[in-house]
């Protein structure tokens, strides 16, 4: 009989069985809150995980009890070998999911189906074409909207990620929730988070409470209800009383969910980040290339995880400014 798997556990007893792999730092959009205005420094291809390395490292995590893998980036679908990686990871005994900006999703519908992907997260921060194109500094709004429809028509569970920013798109909270009335999708409002090069400021965030208040004011506070949250879910979920879809709020800034965190991040250049907000990284790729034991490195990296928000429980503006972290596009959201 084979030995039971010893799970990856941190110093606070949290079991980690969810791996988010960034496939690339490149992207076909330039969302200002994610990609620094000057872009990201181009590095040699050899500094990043190849398709084979990504797959082999993922297998090690699966052997340590990882049950879910999400592909992200940058834009995961612009990675040259994206199709091959998705198909190979689809053969592993995990729930495979993806977060994409949907610009080229139409080329991947069959690949997703064949790899057993059921749920696709798509980022869309505005329902107004001009505004969306301003935020993303490109002109793909119509293509993205068409691809969201295509995903729904093809039976995928679609979650729309909306980063809510003061004086930018908070006036669209009600429009996004109204979208869930007749359409079976899940809208998730995400508080604006600080990363290098995105000019974050406490004043630009729209809090959990403010988002709920806006829904109540616009649609009536008796017209939506709280629904159950899945275990380890970072989203607090709601639905309109007569809604086909649902909506939720991810409040990493004002109301974090660190106590149930089960996430491990692997960057495109093969570093483990044990928390989105942590500057601490473990170089797994170099160790893998030197045939070293990466299992102990993985366990050690997670064991060192801080209790809350990368060691900034207060999350004051000063803490955040002092803290050296990468830009979101180079971490993988």
For ligand SF4, the binding residues (CB under 6 A) are: 27, 29-31, 34-35, 73-75, 101, 123, 136, 329
| Paired residues of 97 in beta bridges | 70
Q: CB 104 → ligand SF4: shortest distance, Å?
A: 11
Q: How far is the CB of 332 from ligand SF4 (least distance, A)?
A: 8
Q: Nearest distance from residue 11's CB to ligand SF4, in Å?
A: 31
Considering beta carbons, is residue 112 or 288 the nearer one to ligand SAM?
112
Helix (H, G, I), strand (E, B) or coil at 13: coil
Q: Give the whole-angstrom CA distance, residue 82 versus residue 79.
A: 5
Task: Specify the DSSP class assigned to residue 266.
Answer: E
Q: Give the residue nearest to ligand SAM (CB).
A: 333
Which is nearer to ligand SAM, 252 or 297 (by Cβ)?
Answer: 252
Torsions phi, psi for 272 (to 5 deg): -85, 135
Beta carbon of residue 72, minimum distance to ligand SF4 (angstroms, whole number): 8
Between 88 and 191, CB nearer to ligand SAM: 191
Q: State the binding partner of 71 from ligand SAM, ligand SF4, none, CB within 5 to 8 A by kind.
A: none
- Out of ligand SF4, ligand SAM, none, what residue 190 binds, judged by CB under 5 to 8 A for its kind, is ligand SAM
- Say which residue the tokens 């044990």 belong to: 274
Extended beta strands in 150-268, E state: 157-164, 186-191, 224-226, 235-240, 246-250, 263-266
Measure CA 82 to chain center: 17
With CB under 5 to 8 Å by kind, the binding choice for 198 among ligand SAM, ligand SF4, none is ligand SAM
Contact 74, 100 (CB under 8 A): no
189 three-state secondary structure? strand
Kindly state the smallest distance separating residue 30's Cβ from ligand SF4, in Å: 6
Beta strand spans in 29-125 (E):
68-72, 95-100, 119-123
Using CB under 6 A, list all residues that contact ligand SAM: 27, 33-34, 72-73, 75, 99-101, 123, 161, 163, 190, 192-193, 195, 198, 328-329, 333
How many Å apart are CA 289 and CA 307, to the nearest integer?
31
């Amino acid at each position: 009989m084979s030995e039971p798997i010893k799970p990856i556990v941190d110093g606070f007893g949290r079991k980690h069985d969810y791996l988010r792999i960034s496939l690339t730092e490149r992207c076909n959009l330039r969302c200002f809150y994610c990609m620094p205005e000057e872009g990201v420094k181009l590095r040699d291809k050899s500094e990043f995980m190849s398709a084979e390395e990504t797959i082999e490292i993922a297998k090690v995590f699966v052997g340590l009890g990882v049950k879910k893998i999400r592909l992200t980036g940058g834009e995961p679908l612009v990675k040259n070998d994206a199709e091959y990686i998705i198909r190979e990871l689809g053969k592993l005994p995990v729930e495979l999911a993806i977060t994409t900006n949907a610009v080229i999703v139409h080329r991947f519908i069959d690949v997703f189906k064949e790899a057993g992907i059921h749920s696709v997260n798509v980022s869309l921060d505005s329902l107004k074409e001009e505004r969306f194109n301003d935020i993303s500094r490109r002109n793909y709004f119509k293509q993205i909207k068409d691809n969201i429809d295509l995903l729904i028509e093809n039976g995928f569970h679609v979650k729309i990620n909306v980063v809510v920013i003061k004086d930018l798109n908070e006036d669209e909270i009600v429009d996004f929730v109204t979208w869930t009335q007749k359409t079976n999708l899940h809208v998730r409002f995400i508080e604006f988070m600080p990363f290098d090069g995105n000019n974050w400021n406490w004043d630009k965030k729209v809090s959990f409470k403010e988002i709920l208040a806006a829904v109540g004011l616009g649609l009536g506070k008796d017209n939506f209800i709280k629904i159950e949250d899945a275990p380890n879910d970072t989203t607090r979920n709601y639905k309109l009383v007569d809604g086909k879809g649902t909506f939720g709020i991810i409040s990493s800034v004002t109301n974090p969910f660190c106590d149930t965190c089960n996430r491990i991040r692997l960057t495109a250049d093969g570093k483990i980040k044990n928390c989105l907000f942590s500057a601490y990284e473990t170089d797994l790729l170099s160790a893998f290339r030197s045939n070293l034991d990466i299992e102990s490195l993985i366990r050690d990296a997670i064991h060192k995880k801080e209790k809350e928000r990368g060691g900034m429980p207060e999350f004051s503006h000063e803490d955040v400014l002092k803290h050296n972290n990468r830009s979101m596009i180079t971490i993988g959201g």
